[in-house]
Amino acid sequence: MKQFILLLITVSTLFSDAKLSPNIIQGRLNILNGYATECVMHKFYSNTGWTQIEGEVGRNGIDGLYYKKKNVIIGEVLVAESKWNTARLGRSGENKYLKQMSQ
């Protein structure tokens, strides 16, 4: 629910300026689609027994960090990256050497 409210706020603020160029509109739509994809991902994992650890490091951080407990001990951990349409895993770190989701 929190993600959905953030999505609604984002829609209203991203498109509040009437004089937007097509490039700016596309960039803002990409941000909006990213938020929507994360909402779908979160709903899926929540409905399949995973518990989300709240928080994200900036807009380009880990999209989802989840765990499952066995008895009272964390038994599984899941790091998730959501993508939509033709989006690909990015690179980060010094000289963009590290690929997202790599070891």
- Residue-wise pLDDT for 25-41, tens only, equals 788 788 788 888 888 88
Name residue, tokens 């709240």: 54
Interval 61-94: pLDDT, tens: 778 889 999 888 999 999 888 887 777 777 777 7
- Single pTM value for the model: 0.65
Burial 11-27 (b: 16+ CB within 10 A, else e): eeebeeeeeeeeeeeee
pLDDT greater at residue 101 or residue 1: 101
Domain count, the chain: 1
Given a contact cutoff of 8 angstroms between Cβ atoms, the answer to whether 64 and 52 are in contact is yes
Predicted confidence at residue 29, as pLDDT, reads 80
Predicted confidence at residue 66, as pLDDT, reads 93
